[in-house]
Amino acid sequence: MNVKEIAQVILDAFNKHYRIFLEITKGARQRFIDQDWQADRAASQQRINLYSQRVDEACDQLMQRFKLEQIDKSLWKDVKLAYVALLYEHRQPELAETFYNSVFTWSFTRRYYNNDNIFVRPSISTRYLTGSRPAYTSYYPTKANLQETIEELLECFDIGLPFEDFKRDSSRLADQFKHILKTTRKYSDSYQIQVLRPLLYRNKAAYIVGRVLTGSRYRPFVIPLLHNEDGKVYADALVSHNRDITNLFSFARAYFMVDTGVPSAIVNFLQQILPHKTAADLYTSIGLQKQGKSEFYRDFLDHLQHSSDQLVITKGTLGMVMTVFTLPSYPFVFKVINDRFAPPKQVTTRIVKEKYQLVKMHDRVGRLADTLEFSHVALPLDRFAPELIEHLKERIPSSIKIEGNQLIIRHLYIERRLQPLNLFVDDAGKEKLETAFIEYGNAIKDLAEANIFPGDLLLKNFGVTNNCRVIFYDYDEIELMVDCNFRKIPKPQNAQQMMASEPWYSISDKDVFPEEFLLFVSSRPERRALFMKHHKELLDVEYWKAVQERIRVGTYGDVFPYGQEIRFKNIYEDAAVLTEENPTNATLTNNPLRDNQL
């Protein structure tokens, strides 16, 4: 059997996959021009589904052409070597290796998953891989020509739309770049501005991503481009604070659309300005979530080799639907669907999987944690704490199997570890408590605008990130907003109804009563008071119906992934008002780009 032919079939299938992937991605430019946000959401979902379709095709083709019902170990070792040879001068070798892994693991059983047959370790370095053009452009401004440089930078992008006021935007950007330089240590007159060539598209914005290089230090920046009412574009802000940049590339955001033939070059650039983000994070953020899974798995295996702590039950309230455990030295949790669901839960394993898939396909607006999904995961048995093993045997016996010195988990979700909101507020002082409840309500509102109703609003179902952002992570009861029936609680007609311990009115599965939301918040008066102070409208059924109506007519609310206080609209209008009222009290250069509040 010709191993080169087998290897070529797999690579041809990958090349077809990435060609279609880029076709969908390149369409983001026209969708942005047309402001066709419905088509943009459909394209995002299509792109996520694309990978499994191509892997299925490749597996079917291999079985039909080569009759590979049973594995031949020596054959597949040679196929892998032949495949590596085909990747010479390839521009996406790391993605092609991951595709090969998927084809193999979908075709054969877990006991063959080793580096002889698949790419447990990468075979080709992508550190200095480039395409026909560099991934980024460098500019060398001076104090005298900074605005001219900004204008040149903006003109290099084929946005496809005119600017609302090009000179105004370039002037504002130059002002704020001066602020960055003044607050950068070791600043000198000699510096570079380096900008990624492709625009990053997501939701209603196109993003210019770059970095200022002074000496050996990088300072990242992002310029969001938005539409005005006339369909022209304008620069909305200069995003430069680490918290805002991190939030833009958060695991709780939808994936960017980035037209790139060499994804590793984009990831290498981003890693220099986001050093706390892993390659797994960044491949995932640009829509290559399968490569993100591969990078995560390799990182996790490396961490296991260089650590000795044990997997333990995660802190917090035990879930009725998921069993959750973690490795204390690693910032992730591992979630497995329980064999049985305690009342009042009325879900099934199939429904839970569908909810997780819904989140994967949906715009997460910075409020839903993305997940990595794995099957047949083998972990060292001695890394499980004894009490965790007993816990797993009690709650998920059908999902685990012990083979020698390994524990095999049939189906597993992995998420970023967050501090449960209920534990966070228990330890919070007065100021942090208030900001936590502001974030809690904002999370509910942002999800509503994205057509998601969380279902279970208990604080334990929300988590707090290192940047103090509140994220929802319990998906078994989420619903689309448009599928919910928001109702007022009927007024009792007599004393018997008034004193009834159970609702005397009919309730369907999709009924939601906003008046009851305080029951989810807390029984403590001071916490309820904070919720009422900042989010009283969430108890009003008309608020929810208004959001529903906007969604039904295709009008999605704006959820900004950076602080409102850094938008030029706010900086310059506020400065203009201050200057008019007290000319000695405000200048643009003294208006700092403040850190986000919670």
What positions carry a catalytic annotation?
Answer: 370
Tokens of 366: 């910075």
Burial status of residue 199 (CB atoms within 10 A of its CB: 0-12, 13-18, 19 or more): buried
Q: How far is CA 450 from the centre of its chain?
A: 14
Tokens of 219: 């300072």
Q: Which residues contact 273 (CB under 8 A, 6 or more apart)?
A: 211, 218, 220, 245
Q: Which helix (H) or strand (E) holds 436?
A: helix 430-449
Q: Give yes or no for a contact between 106 and 55, defined as CB atoms under 8 angstroms apart.
A: yes
Q: Which helix (H) or strand (E) holds 353?
A: helix 349-361
Nearest to 152 by CA among 141, 143, 161, 163: 141
Distances in whole angstroms, Cα of residue 383 to Cα of each of 218, 297, 374, 375, 418: 39, 16, 19, 19, 22
Q: Give yes or no for a contact between 33 and 161, defined as CB atoms under 8 angstroms apart.
A: yes
What single string gives the DSSP state of each residue in 84-124? HHHTTT-S-HHHHHHHHHHHHHHHS-GGG-STTTS-SS-SS
Q: Which residues contact 124 (CB under 8 A, 6 or more apart)?
A: 84, 87, 90, 93, 94, 97
What single string gives the DSSP state of each residue in 175-219? HHHHHHHHTSTT--S--EEEEESS-EEETTEEEEEEEEEETTEEE
Tokens of 390: 């007993």
Separation CA 539–CA 535 (nearest Å) = 8
Q: Give yes or no for a contact between 222 and 177, defined as CB atoms under 8 angstroms apart.
A: no
Return left, alpha or beta for 64; rule: phi > 0 is left, psi -120 to 50 is alpha, else beta: alpha
Burial status of residue 85 (CB atoms within 10 A of its CB: 0-12, 13-18, 19 or more): exposed
Distances in whole angstroms, Cα of residue 553 to Cα of each of 231, 348, 364, 549: 19, 32, 20, 6
Look-up of token digits 């928001």: 486
β partners of residue 104: none
